[in-house]
A and B are shown apart, each in its own frame.
Chain A
Amino acid sequence: MDINQKYTPQSWPDHPETATMEGKNKFIGFWLLLAAETVTFATLFATYLALKDKGPSGMEFSAAGLFELPLVFAMTMILLTSSLTSVYAMYHMKNHNFKAMQAWLGITVLLGATFLGLEIYEFNHYLHLGFGFTNSAFSSAFYVLVGTHGAHVLFGLSWFIALMLRNAKRGLNMYNAPKFYLASLYWHFIDVVWVFIFTVVYLMGVIG
């Protein structure tokens, strides 16, 4: 049997992401990566918490004076909604409905790109205020933590787009179903990290 075996909704397995040995291996390996990523982000969160509002004497910027909640609230809602739209995409993947899956992934990518655009706007705004990367220990820790998350969003978007384009004419099969599934897991993980960023960095930053 070759990897281009055609399926119908009737012959499509319940768990296409782990129906093959390749899929099972990818699944285990990817969750191991997510566990390692958890530790990566923990080191960045720990650094941020330890260095929050710390820096040279007379430093101008502190978390309470800098962050503004309306923008963060909009970003949070957008990323949370994109998490749901990727759930919809995987729902259609399991129903073997390729077009609906591609459409929902497209919406996810649009929402993710909007989020990234707002983050770039936010960083640009801070830079104009004079809050640069080398300003203080606080500013470095902030940009590294939130910037690493932003880099993950950018990578997730590129991953989705690459999968959508590469498989546009193939349709769903046992070769690409695990790939789509893992990209959506990655996207949920990005949302998990953002939940802690908006809580620990922004909300706890605003209250001082």
Chain B
Amino acid sequence: MAHDTHIHVRTQSEFEYAKKKRADEMKGHLATFAIMIFLTLIAFTMVAAGFSTYLIVPIILLMAGIQVILQLYYFMHLSGKGHGMVAFFLFCGIFVAFITVLALVTIVWW
């Protein structure tokens, strides 16, 4: 049925290995979080420091892009096994999103 799954009781060593692997992955997530905080701080500091607009805009957009990639690939496990189809969905979505933003900012004037 829809909720059926094969039940596999792991041996103690298999269990310890899987547990350690998860703990290591969690440490990686903490490092990812530290990087995200750092990128956010750079973005806010640059604006607060009042650098030139032409310098700030590309850099803060780059910071946002990196932070989103970290969220998708680490926190949301987009690179994990069995994520091929969902990555395809998402990239189609991002492609349409990009075209939409490009179209509206270039054809709308006041």
Contact = CB atoms under 8 A, between A and B. Distances in A.
Contacts of B64: 195-196, 199-200
Given A196-B68, A203-B43, A10 B9 contact: yes
Contacts of B22: 91, 94-95
Contact of A10 (B15, B82, B89, B108): B15
A77 B68 contact: no
Contacts, number: 157
A203 B47 contact: yes
B110 A54 contact: yes
A27 to B, nearest CB: 7
In this complex, the interface size class of chain B, counting residues with CB under 8 Å from chain A, is 35 or more
Contacts of B56: 203, 207
A73 B45 CA distance: 10
A20 B10 contact: no
A208 interface: yes
B78 to A, nearest CB: 9
If over half of B's interface residues share one DSSP class (helix, strand or loop), that class is named, otherwise mixed; here it is: helix
B53 A38 contact: no
B50 to A, nearest CB: 8
If over half of A's interface residues share one DSSP class (helix, strand or loop), that class is named, otherwise mixed; here it is: helix
Contact of B104 (A46, A195, A206): A46
A204 B93 CA distance: 24
Contacts of A11: 7-10
A103 interface: no
Interface of B: 1-5, 7-10, 15, 18-19, 22, 25-26, 29-30, 33, 36-37, 40, 43-44, 47-48, 53, 56-57, 60-61, 63-64, 67-68, 71-72, 75-76, 82, 85-86, 89-90, 92-94, 96-98, 100-101, 103-105, 108, 110
